[in-house]
Structure 1
């Protein structure tokens, strides 16, 4: 069984389970035999993978603001999770320019609320706090950022994610290093995640799908910006493997880990769109996308992570090639939105394919 069978029959709480990554994670854990409880303030987009896959009927679906200490504490104490994956956040960079205080409040104080509740847990529990690749002070150098590099950033979104990491560090050293503590914690950082079922605002794949479904040409702001694109299942496999290892070995307690694609998988926005347009079925790229000069907010031209720590400490490594990532992403949207395929079945099929690739390629978490 994948992940040393760590999740079968176990109680797993996901904050932010209605979002793009949270919905994929809930579906995967459900397939692994976990008893999943989700806690989110709302379904963030319409449409959404959460609703299309019917996840409200498959897991214990609960609503609440991640900053509501009393409400979240009540959920944790009644559900008594074995594992917690904290994904609840304000996750859109453009939104942080319109609502900077809300972004800081949700991402920093929301994370602090989770940690405060975990401080009172008196049963064995393993928590993975997910932040972002944006935690790093990005000076746009050509090599990947390591977990020991400076945190920060020039924009509010980066500050909110860096602040979440600082909240984690202070809580860990203040409250979670005592010998009688029942909770083990670690943080995970990843970014540039794509895959089927993302309809968030100002994300390139979601923008493309919205435009192409309406037979419109999508406008792109920064065609030469380079990103290390990765399918959503790549970091999720890292989060799940980190949780499984952390539950078994206290040496991972308090650590931070980057999860990202292979270094050679950097591609420009233009290359990404060309690959997706091909899978979607566009014969003429000029009908698929056009370049616009409208750049409403600052965007880094280069940001990538060094994943050597995950490779050396966890024996985790990315599983998909760039072509496989693009194909799986494009096929999900094409087959669900154009072909009428069932969203849950497609998501489960991609998870099964990803596990099969991992087994064929000797990834340790699926052995």
Structure 2
């Protein structure tokens, strides 16, 4: 099987490519334009594999997307390329609309044109997998979970742009018959995550003795999913999911943000006993909340478990320890990021009141 993965140098995309190369015999083309969040270092372990190929392609460039699709002739497109950082979407929403909405439309159109020219058997085999987020559903109260039938109610420019892309994917299935499958996941964490996100930001700030910023009172709840579990889920959905269907993927590991931060601090206290900043919890600092910050996310992942047999292998306790260990063992990876694309500054306060 020949697979195009868009955004394959990003956090989740690189985990998907590593899993494809290690667990299957598929050939992969990574389409990534290498923005601040795209990091070829995350693919170092498989970069020399003869089944891995890379094209520096911007999905906002329709002609480049068409050329890549027609040239590689995939059996499957896994679309993960996106602007994903909520705080950045508050400061600059235009990039999110262009990449997440226009870029997705470009990919769908390129895929449709390619698919229309395939023979009958190849048409039947082809899939377009659109990868999205649970944030399109908005915010939950103290009870309940998101499912595949939850109405959309996005609250940030990021989640609105992803909701728009989800609707495009559905429309290309319903209108043109393009065999599209969609997935919506909960919060990911694990190796190679860009350090603007909560867990790597807390780990790295703690190691450097910087403040550990917690939005509001830290009571916001997220369902945490280890990225390698998510990668396995995405491959299952892409290869065995039913066209026209949506699959929600979650870890069933709800935690308050403040509890996540305290857990990371406790693990660092244990694993970095020589740190001059112990106890690291003393660095916790509550800061102005993000505008429109959703209170709680939780995923009902029973459909993917029932239909595709997927379950997470990592508990939050096992996954977060492995994650902290990875950052401790891979200082060169994150030091290069901190020296260039992101230095730990606070984003997303534009328009705050």
In structure 2, distance between residues paired with 1:97 and 1:245: 36
* Corresponding residue of 2:244: 254
* Corresponding residue of 2:230: 235
* Corresponding residue of 2:36: 44
In structure 2, distance between residues paired with 1:339 and 1:128: 29
8 Å CA contact 1:279, 1:331 repeated in 2: no
Matches within 5 A, 1:1-367: 10-32=1-23, 33-45=25-37, 48=39, 50-54=40-44, 56-58=47-49, 59-120=52-113, 121=115, 122=118, 123=122, 124-176=125-177, 184-201=179-196, 203-222=197-216, 223-246=218-241, 252-262=242-252, 265-280=253-268, 281=271, 284-286=278-280, 289-337=283-331
Q: What is the CA distance between 1:298 and its match in structure 2?
A: 2.6
Q: What is the CA distance between 1:257 and its match in structure 2?
A: 0.5
* Corresponding residue of 2:346: none
Q: For 1:146-169, what per-residue CA distance to the aligned partner results, in whole angstroms no more than 9, with x for missing partners?
A: 111111322222211111111111
Q: What is the CA distance between 1:313 and its match in structure 2?
A: 2.1
The verdict on how the C-alpha distance between 1:76 and 1:200 changes in structure 2, with shifts beyond 3 A counting, is: farther
Gaps of 5+ in 1: 1-9, 177-182, 247-251, 341-367
Q: For 1:230-261, what per-residue CA distance to the aligned partner results, in whole angstroms no more than 9, with x for missing partners?
A: 11012211111112213xxxxx1110010001
In structure 2, distance between residues paired with 1:339 and 1:298: 32
Classify the secondary structure of the residue corresponding to 2:330: helix
8 Å CA contact 1:228, 1:267 repeated in 2: yes
Q: For 1:55-104, what per-residue CA distance to the aligned partner results, in whole angstroms no more than 9, with x for missing partners?
A: 55443111121121111111011111122110000111011111112212
Q: What is the CA distance between 1:52 and its match in structure 2?
A: 5.0
Gaps of 5+ in 2: 335-353
8 Å CA contact 2:180, 2:243 repeated in 1: yes
In structure 2, distance between residues paired with 1:149 and 1:139: 11
State the Cα RMSD in Å. Answer: 2.3
TM-score (norm 1): 0.80
TM-score (norm 2): 0.83
The verdict on how the C-alpha distance between 1:37 and 1:243 changes in structure 2, with shifts beyond 3 A counting, is: same
Q: For 1:170-202, what per-residue CA distance to the aligned partner results, in whole angstroms no more than 9, with x for missing partners?
A: 1111101xxxxxx5320011021000111242x
In structure 2, distance between residues paired with 1:339 and 1:245: 34
In structure 2, distance between residues paired with 1:244 and 1:173: 20
